[in-house]
Amino acid sequence: MKIDDLIEYINDVRWEDVKDLPEVSDRVYLNEDLGNQDRELENSNYLYLTIFSQAREDGKDRYFGSNTNSTIKGFMDSDYKGSPKKHKDIFEKSESEYEHRTICLRISDNESKILIEEEDILDGIDARENPKFFNASNISGGIQKTLGNQQVLFDEITENIEKTNRGEVSDFEVGEENVHKLHALERAQPRSGDLDPSHVNAIAKDILDNPKRALESIRKTILLEDYYAPGIHKRGGNTHSLNALIRPSLKNYVDKIGFVLVPKSLWSKCSPHNVRDILLWDNKREWEISRKCTNSDEIIQSCWDLINDFKLSHLHKSVKLRAKALGMVDSEWSGPSGICAKLKDLVDNKSTEGYVPENMDIIKYTPAKIESHEKEKSSPDGDVIVLTTVYAGGNKFTGWDLVIRWLSDPKNKKRQLHIDFLHGMNGIQRYADLWPDKQKDLVPLINKLFTTHDKKSHFTWDMMPRFEPKKNMIHD
């Protein structure tokens, strides 16, 4: 069942619809396939809906959630019905007063997939505002560091930091500190080798040229509260500005600059990648003082980590949102060399790596290697060409133009055309998996085209190898 269908079901299902379904201890599979799937998996993660036979005075009669950390093997072996926090008392009261069913809606051995789908569904039903639900939030509560929780933390921390830099009231403590003391603090380093002496020089020059304007442009230095011990904070951001400000040539211009203290209660809930991205976000906001923003490689790395941490597609909305938060403009997302395309390449390459046989390497095909192959294999009687099995636009074979031109060229006296098909320049497994179905349609069409040009049986084909033996192997 698709997510949209699940959202509709969770919203609209009534007690009358489920009360007579086959149940075990008030637990029900939505369909038979889920039961079979549950029995096959070693440990199941699942989405469920608990619905009561009667609604309370305020209309609440259901709770939607996930179970991802159970030590009990299967859905039917558990007695877990949900654990709302805000409405815990009335939920437990309904348990004791009314009949109920807990319905298994989705099962997977992939915890992250279940948690991400949970959050998508919570958003879809707007469980926080929907009076029928005991849920008080649209965020998964299964584990502390779910995608939704991390995004909420990212937004809360960055919004409060931004308020302090605009001079608005914030939830965070702000103040001023001596630049030498700030510089001496251990710092959170969001990237490797990130100190650029030329940028430090540019900032120092800006301050000497126009001290008032330049100093007003320096953002508050981020401090992570009690990072090492009570009162011993960690510094993030303003690395280049502080390295400029401690120079003797600037001692008469500034003694102190502002700081903003991110509470331990917030940063400690962030994943390491989330903390890094918050500091990269702060870096991208340096628009006025010798601008030096987060570059595209850093944005791609952050998005790639988000994809891996939460098992996301590169097209998931959270990936593009993170890229934009770090300074990407819309024009940098799309196109053959855009950030989206580069993330897709990373996803494809990663999925391919898992299919490499032992002691083998994936063959990387370059244009020069393909051209050499075609020349070496061609002969006076026949041509050999390499064409990709990767379709354009999802269903368009890109080789038709070449095949038709070969057949229609009056100067072409060769009898045979041999096509070696290639699963992308990097031998991507996904395209290899799709090829058998494509082959059933494509090869007969090419054969038919050759027949209509009086060249029946003059077409042959094969696959370019995807693997080759590892080179420079060390044997025991």
Per-residue pLDDT of the chain (476 residues; tens, 9 = 90+): 788 899 999 999 999 999 999 888 899 999 988 988 888 887 778 899 999 999 999 999 999 998 876 556 688 878 888 878 788 899 999 999 999 999 999 998 777 678 778 888 998 999 889 999 999 887 765 444 467 778 888 999 999 999 998 899 999 999 999 889 998 888 876 655 567 788 788 888 888 888 887 777 788 999 999 888 888 899 887 888 888 888 888 877 888 888 999 998 888 878 888 888 998 888 765 444 444 556 788 889 889 888 877 778 888 888 999 999 988 888 899 988 899 999 988 887 776 655 667 677 788 888 899 999 999 999 999 999 999 988 876 568 889 999 999 999 988 889 899 999 998 887 777 778 788 888 988 999 999 999 999 999 999 999 999 888 876 443 33
Same domain, 199 and 230: yes
d(Cα 29, Cα 36) in Å, to the nearest integer? 10
Same domain, 113 and 227: no
Residue 67 pairs in a beta bridge with: 46
Kindly state the tokens that stand for 353.
Answer: 């790596």
89-99 burial, b at 16+ Cβ within 10 Å, e below that, comes to ebbeebeeeee
User: H helices within 326-428, ranges in order?
Assistant: 339-353, 367-377, 400-408
> Do residues 417 and 403 make contact, with C-beta atoms less than 8 angstroms apart?
yes
Same domain, 422 and 341: no
Tell me which residue of 423, 282, 303, 411 sits closest to 352, measured CA to CA. Answer: 423
Same domain, 215 and 237: yes
d(Cα 378, Cα 380) in Å, to the nearest integer? 7
What confidence score (pLDDT) does residue 453 get?
92
For position 268, which CATH number holds?
A: 3.90.1530.10
Kindly state the tokens that stand for 299.
Answer: 């944005």
Q: In the listed set 110, 126, 142, which residue is the last one of a domain according to the structure?
A: 142
Residues contacting residue 269 through CB under 8 Å, at least 6 positions apart: 144, 145, 149, 153
Dihedral angle sign, alpha carbons of residues 8, 11, 16, 19: positive
What confidence score (pLDDT) does residue 191 get?
58
Residue 231 lies in a domain: yes
* Cα separation values, 465 from 127, 275, 422, 453, Å: 52, 43, 8, 30
What 8-state DSSP symbol labels residue 294?
Answer: P
Same domain, 280 and 161: yes
Q: Which residue type, as a one-letter code, is found at position 129? A: E
d(Cα 21, Cα 102) in Å, to the nearest integer? 11
What confidence score (pLDDT) does residue 472 get?
46
What confidence score (pLDDT) does residue 144 get?
41
Neighbours of 46 (CB within 10 A): 25
Total structural domains within the chain: 4
| Angle, CA of 28, 34 and 39, to the nearest 5° | 100
Q: In the listed set 330, 353, 376, which residue is the last one of a domain according to the structure?
A: 353
Same domain, 274 and 160: yes
Dihedral angle sign, alpha carbons of residues 385, 389, 392, 396: positive
Q: What is the pTM of this model?
A: 0.50
* Cα separation values, 140 from 114, 152, 203, Å: 10, 11, 44
Kindly state the tokens that stand for 312.
Answer: 């996301």
Tell me which residue of 154, 170, 173 sits closest to 162, measured CA to CA. Answer: 170
d(Cα 38, Cα 45) in Å, to the nearest integer? 9
Tell me which residue of 396, 276, 288, 373 sits closest to 325, measured CA to CA. Answer: 276
d(Cα 55, Cα 183) in Å, to the nearest integer? 60
3-state secondary structure at position 429:
helix
Q: What is the layout of strands, in order, in the sheet containing 232-236? A: 173-178, 256-262, 221-229, 232-236
Same domain, 105 and 158: no
Same domain, 303 and 170: no
Residue 475 lies in a domain: no
Residue 237 lies in a domain: yes
Residue 243 lies in a domain: yes
Same domain, 69 and 171: no
Residue with tokens 């290899």: 432
Residue 7 lies in a domain: yes
Backbone angles phi and psi of 228, in degrees to 5: -100, -30
Tell me which residue of 99, 109, 100 sits closest to 75, measured CA to CA. Answer: 109
Domain membership of residue 326 as a residue range: 295-353
Same domain, 156 and 198: yes
What confidence score (pLDDT) does residue 319 get?
92
Residue 81 lies in a domain: yes
Residue 183 lies in a domain: yes
> Do residues 238 and 290 make contact, with C-beta atoms less than 8 angstroms apart?
no
Kindly state the tokens that stand for 158.
Answer: 């960055």
Q: In the listed set 142, 158, 189, which residue is the last one of a domain according to the structure?
A: 142
Kindly state the tokens that stand for 58.
Answer: 């305020």
Residue 52 pairs in a beta bridge with: 100
Same domain, 100 and 12: yes
Same domain, 29 and 47: yes
Burial class (CB in 10 A: 0-12, 13-18, 19+), 290: buried
